Amino acid sequence: MPEQEDAGKAALPGRLVVVVGPSGVGKDSLLSAARATLATVPDLLFVRRAITRPASGDAEDHEPMSDEAFAAAEQDGAFCFTWRAHGLCYGLRTDLEAHLGAERPAIVNGSRKVLADMARRFPGLAIVRVTADPQVIAARLASRGRESDEEIAARLARAAEIPDVAPVAVVDNSGTLDDAARSFVDAVTGFLR
């Protein structure tokens, strides 16, 4: 069963750039580092996801929700797209639909697992795939202290395939954040031309 069941909704003409990559690759850091530069892009919306995870200073700025509140919001049609991953629920609020419907661009931290569903829902989809050396990812995950060594090893062993559903740009975040942020901005702005 697909994660999202709104295939009957009208297609949206705006460009949605989805940032994907494994945990620890630095997606949130890149989004934060590039935000000031990308703020010059007319009407670019940085989508704030609703997540069933408490707010935390070391994680992305998201809308924290309890499982119950998320389920109620989902039932009430508050989201235009939802998915589940790693025991959490993620939702994109319906204001994204209006933004894309007005032919305005948006960028969101997404999930490789639901890219095919997102491409069906948001036909203007483009993908920025963030990568890094496995040793770099392992060190970042270990520094968070959220997972055991075994859980980190399992994460690193997962296949990182991207479905062929939209154009893809790859950004390597193994080196300095400044270098990766420049590449990231170039990738995003390239999709918005």
Provide the CATH number for the domain around residue 62. Answer: 3.40.50.300
Dihedral pair phi/psi, residue 130, rounded to 5°: -95, 130
The CB density around residue 1, as the number of other CB atoms within 10 Å, is 4
The CB density around residue 151, as the number of other CB atoms within 10 Å, is 11
Report residue 168 as tokens: 């893809």
Q: Tokens 């170039």 map to which residue? A: 186
Q: Determine the structural domain holding residue 120 and report its residue range.
A: 16-191
Residue 9 lies inside a defined structural domain of this protein: no
Residue 10 lies inside a defined structural domain of this protein: no
Map residue 169 onto helix, strand or coil.
Answer: strand
Q: Looking at residue 11, what is its pLDDT?
A: 53
Residue 170 lies inside a defined structural domain of this protein: yes
Whether the Cβ atoms of residue 50 and residue 91 lie closer than 8 Å to each other: yes
- In the chain, the number of structural domains is 1
Q: Looking at residue 146, what is its pLDDT?
A: 77
Residue 128 lies inside a defined structural domain of this protein: yes
Which residues of the chain are under the pLDDT cut of 50? 1-8
